[in-house]
Structure 1
Amino acid sequence: MRPIQRCVTFLLTFVLTMGILPTSFGAPNADIAAVKAQIEQLQDDAAAAGENALAAKIQLAKLKKQLASVQQDAANQQKTLEQARASLAAIAIARYKSTGLGEGMELLFSSNPTLYLSAAGSLESVTRKQSIQLRKYATAKQRLDATSLTVNDKLALVQAAEARYRKQAAQVKEKLAAAEKLLAKLEKADRERLLKLQAMDAEERQKYSLEQAKLANAVSGRAGTALRYAVKQIGDRYVWGAAGPIRWDCSGLTMRAYEQAGVRLPHSSRAQYGYGRSIAIAEFGSSFGRKKYVGARRL
């Protein structure tokens, strides 16, 4: 069962019933069919922008997670670097204390050459340790430098993703505002005619949806669980970006329905499209058509 690829909301009835339309000033002889087509196109555009926004939101979440991971790596590597630096400092102090006069002078003035030669052996060991610590320090420094560059790169990607999300979310509002403006230009009689057409479409779609919902009881397994959950929400209010329990968008409803069946999906129809088995359009049968919500901003 394939998740819904894209859904579009009818804004018309919601706008009219909320009474936010100003007094008409526009076209009393407007072609209602043409206006309806323009409104639907704006709604399609808003839905596309909404999908882009949700996809950008998911990408943003992933990038933030990656950024947090590399920032933690950088913090750990900084600790390793500090430890290597401290070890080098301790070795340097120890060597300075043991070779302050120079090796040749210490041998010349030593009252116990045997003891000095033993100390010289220890000095050689200190030198080896210093060499090892120097290599560790250099390696830690290189890793930290590389990770710091990665942090900067990820931060730039996060900022770009945030900008894309804001842009797409703004386009959703812009397209819906344009649809409202178009409606506001209609005379009252024309708006009522358009509302009547909308109501007829909504009634037809609602009736069809309820008839199809009866088939959910015949579906078994996890698919049936997801389907039955989804059809119970028929009539709930549509809100872009919502994921229940009483307000939904398409991908939000799909996500929650599949969740009931133990399948975790992202909140994006575009991302959901990458899950499951692909089905050819021809296999959908008569149930496949133009993707719309049942009016009054309801599913």
Structure 2
Amino acid sequence: MRIGGALLTTAAIACLGLVPLAPAQAEPDIKDVKAKVERLYHEAEQASERYNDAKLDLDELRKDLAAVRADERRQSDRLDAVREDVADSVLRGFQGESISTVGQVVVADDPAAFLGQLSTMSGFNALQDNMFNAYATELDALDLRRQATAERAAEIAETAERLEAEKSTIDERLGAAEDLLDDLEAEERERLLSPSRSSTSRVPASVPASGRAAAAVGYAMAQVGDAYVYGAVGESAFDCSGLTMRAWGAAGVGLPHSSSAQFSSGPRVSASALQPGDLVFYYTPISHVGMYIGNGLIVHAANPSTGVAVTGLYSMPYVGAVRPG
């Protein structure tokens, strides 16, 4: 019995060795992958729209910097002119001073030092008070303009850093989404990336619109099937605000390349009063925009998997609408 028991024990141990200690790695659930990919796409789009906002800020700051620099140059020229007048007055009013003393004032390169030398020269009261005051005022104005120039330059540097950070976020989220998709079998990946019935199969044959809205809708609808690329504004790829910007641009209406900025591009429209061509906005804070085309549908640049497509008005968290033009 002992031998038999030992054999049974050995056999049991051998059988246990054939049983996996942990369950096999489960295949990724396509619904879970789809939800994660869509979340990563949305996070990338949020960063992309912040990137677009930062680009608009940068453009404005650069224009402002050019303006304040031009103002600084004008102010410097005015200061030089007043300085020449003061120097002439010094030469006329200080005939009794030594040549070296007067010369120090006339040739002083530093405007502040020039002002200080004037205030300490003997017989300064011989100068016209208004001329001295004019120089002091112009010098203060120049200092203010130089400070404004420095502040704009610092803001530009800060905004450029913000652009780089948002670009890194876009690349990181998009890369993570691609890694998830790479884990799927080819058939599952194709099924996940194929357009859903809620999009391309619902493309209307025509959209009732008139005037500028008709031109905008016509442009947007002609792009259905084009690719979604973060930051793109055509000709064959778009992000969400790039598509609406180009569509209304075809109608002669200029819009900024930013979904949040486009929310201020026209009067607000209630959902019950929507007309084809109206811009509709999603998420809080706003990070996606599409174009209403009637019958509860929108056309929009959705995400890298879907591209430009037609889908339902409430397929995303709806925020509001505006009417450009």
TM-score, normalised by the number of residues in structure 2: 0.67
Which of 251, 254, 262 aligns to 1:261? It is: 251
Who is 1:157 aligned against? 155
Distance (Å, rounded) in 1 between the aligned partners of 2:172 and 2:150: 33
Deviation digits for residues 185-210 of structure 1 (CA, Å, limit 9, x no counterpart) = 33x3xx42232243151x6512223x
Q: Does 1:199 align with 2:194?
A: yes
Deviation digits for residues 61-99 of structure 1 (CA, Å, limit 9, x no counterpart) = 1111111111111111111111111111111112234x5
Q: Aligned in 2, Cα 1:27/1:297: closer, same or farther, shift over 3 Å?
A: farther
Deviation digits for residues 156-193 of structure 1 (CA, Å, limit 9, x no counterpart) = 2111111111111110011000111122233x3xx422
Distance (Å, rounded) in 2 between the aligned partners of 1:100 and 1:249: 73
Q: Is the 8 A contact 1:27 1:185 kept in 2?
A: no
Return the offset for 1:37.
0.6
Distance (Å, rounded) in 1 between the aligned partners of 2:243 and 2:300: 18
Who is 2:227 aligned against? 237
Name the aligned partner's letter for residue 267 of structure 1. H
Who is 2:110 aligned against? none
Q: Does 1:249 align with 2:243?
A: no
Name the aligned partner's letter for residue 185 of structure 1. D
Q: Does 1:278 align with 2:271?
A: no
Distance (Å, rounded) in 2 between the aligned partners of 1:96 and 1:264: 63
Who is 1:208 aligned against? 202
Distance (Å, rounded) in 1 between the aligned partners of 2:72 and 2:225: 51
Name the aligned partner's letter for residue 199 of structure 2. R
Q: Is the 8 A contact 1:229 1:257 kept in 2?
A: yes
Return the offset for 1:291.
7.8
Q: Is the 8 A contact 1:252 1:267 kept in 2?
A: yes
Gaps of 5+ in 2: 1-23, 99-124, 275-294, 310-325
Q: Is the 8 A contact 1:50 1:240 kept in 2?
A: yes
Distance (Å, rounded) in 2 between the aligned partners of 1:47 and 1:27: 32
Q: Aligned in 2, Cα 1:165/1:281: closer, same or farther, shift over 3 Å?
A: farther
Distance (Å, rounded) in 2 between the aligned partners of 1:128 and 1:287: 82
Q: Secondary structure at the match of 1:235?
A: coil
TM-score, normalised by the number of residues in structure 1: 0.72
Q: Is the 8 A contact 1:54 1:268 kept in 2?
A: yes
Gaps of 5+ in 1: 1-25, 102-126
> Which structure carries more relative contact order (alpha carbon 8 Å, separation 6+)?
1
Q: Is the 8 A contact 1:255 1:266 kept in 2?
A: yes
Distance (Å, rounded) in 1 between the aligned partners of 2:155 and 2:236: 35
Name the aligned partner's letter for residue 62 of structure 2. K
Q: Secondary structure at the match of 2:27?
A: coil
Q: Is the 8 A contact 1:54 1:267 kept in 2?
A: yes
Trace 1:94-113 onto structure 2 (pairs within 5 A): 94-97=92-95, 99=96
Distance (Å, rounded) in 2 between the aligned partners of 1:243 and 1:155: 28
Distance (Å, rounded) in 2 between the aligned partners of 1:251 and 1:297: 13
Distance (Å, rounded) in 2 between the aligned partners of 1:100 and 1:32: 93
Q: Is the 8 A contact 1:205 1:294 kept in 2?
A: no
Q: Is the 8 A contact 2:228 2:304 kept in 1?
A: no
Who is 2:319 aligned against? none
Q: Is the 8 A contact 2:216 2:247 kept in 1?
A: yes
Q: Does 1:292 align with 2:323?
A: no
Trace 1:9-158 onto structure 2 (pairs within 5 A): 29-97=27-95, 99=96, 130-158=128-156
Q: Aligned in 2, Cα 1:96/1:290: closer, same or farther, shift over 3 Å?
A: closer
Distance (Å, rounded) in 2 between the aligned partners of 1:291 and 1:280: 22
Q: Aligned in 2, Cα 1:192/1:286: closer, same or farther, shift over 3 Å?
A: same
Q: Aligned in 2, Cα 1:289/1:249: closer, same or farther, shift over 3 Å?
A: closer
Q: Secondary structure at the match of 2:199?
A: helix
Name the aligned partner's letter for residue 297 of structure 2. S
More helix by share: 1
